[in-house]
Structure 1
Amino acid sequence: MILYSIGNLAKLSNSTVRTLRYYDEIGLLTPSQLSEGGHRYYEEQDVIKLQYIKILKEIGFSLITIREMLEHQHLSHKDALTMQLKVLEIEKERIEEQSRSIRYLLQLSEFEELANWKDVFDRIPMNPSSTNTEVYERIWKNYFSKEEVQLFKDLPKIGDNDETIQVYISLINDIRQNLNIDITSSKAQDLASRYIELLEKDFKGDFQLAEKVWNKQKEVKDGLGFYQFDPAIVDFIEKAIVHYFTVNAKGQ
């Protein structure tokens, strides 16, 4: 039987002797053996139990709750590994949420010419996460069919790690730099064509639905949750697209 001194267990588990002594005092992790001199010694089962405690504590359970859980549960290597996997999954979700928030800020700053941090934070929702989709889904159901709502849920969103967002950013910046050109010019019509191509891709070729969303977004007071462009950009896109379809309709 292998026995670990309190110092060895502290090093092995990346804990401190002080922490292990405290766990002993509150009855959370008591040593399997005590020497005549009062030195604590722990067995392999105690090592597993300590790992379990650390995992539960990392998840967010209080020490009192952990003690109650351990008093009614037999521990095994499998239990400890299962809990460790759960911790990693939770950590992965947390990191992805943080990454999404940072991508949101970066993409937003690329979409718009924001002069300072106040401008940035004024354009950020309280929680720029995927959970916002659930909020807007309830709004979408008031104006669109079940099939249309499902399509909206699959659309790329600011904060997503999606190449389509970068394509939109590039296009909108090109439009912003050419707001004063004639909408009948070849440059303006190229921009209109690029925008239409993106819409047809996102809306699976249903341009009428894309147009319906565009108009409804302007009608609904607080919007539908889709990105709202600057009024000048909206005006340019609308006029350029109208001219694009007029010219192409005549050419057919």
Structure 2
Amino acid sequence: MNYKVKEVADLVGISIRTLHHYDELGLLSPAKITEAGYRLYSEEDLEQLQQILFFKELGFSLKNIKEIINSPNFDREEALLQQRKFLQEKKRRLENMIETLDKTIKYTRGEINMSDREKFEGFDFSKNPYEQEAREKWGDQAVDQANKKLEKLTAEGKKELGNEADEIYRNLAALKDKVSPASPEAQAAIKKWFDYLNSNFGDYSLQAFKGLGQMYVADERFTRNIDQYGDGLAKFMCKAMEFFTDSNTRT
């Protein structure tokens, strides 16, 4: 069954503008668009929207949600179990805060005494504890693995590795305004990047390679570093990596 935007908005209780915004971000794009331009959402789209809203309830930014659900390591059932765990922990924290609030009301009425420590039980102003665990599970594993390998290299080894990466980036930057990401030239250049990563940073599957490319545009840290070689290079590499993965998966 397909749903129009207004039907999804009414079903979920969010605004049409929010759904349009998710589409613009590439976070949730409808399965079909009619010839008249109407968005049609599938059951799978609704499932993804549910995932997005669970993460949003837990305090994740839209940028991080997109990064997580586009990760090659992302598994929907595992995510649901993890979200349940996070929400149970949030429930526990809220119950502690409600208990502190009830005590404070009684304290204000002069019915009980409260220590200064008791007045702040349940508060937690640390960085989102759920986000860090989720990013470690779905978003940053490839990056962390690469960093560990880099730490073991000598200064000369790091320099050689950097020069090799620099050459690949410059070659891709020279191509981005001349050919499409799917062109033979771009695909030959992106294969060098695929081989470079596998030779130096462990086993990158095709899907992991594709997911890494998606992170180049989803994570501003990647985009900023890569685009130093030329504006739009991160997006060009993302598309080239996606085409490379899909082409080699078919064969």
TM-score for the superposition, normalised by structure 2: 0.42
Larger-gyration structure (1/2) = 1
Structure (1/2) with the larger helix percentage: 2
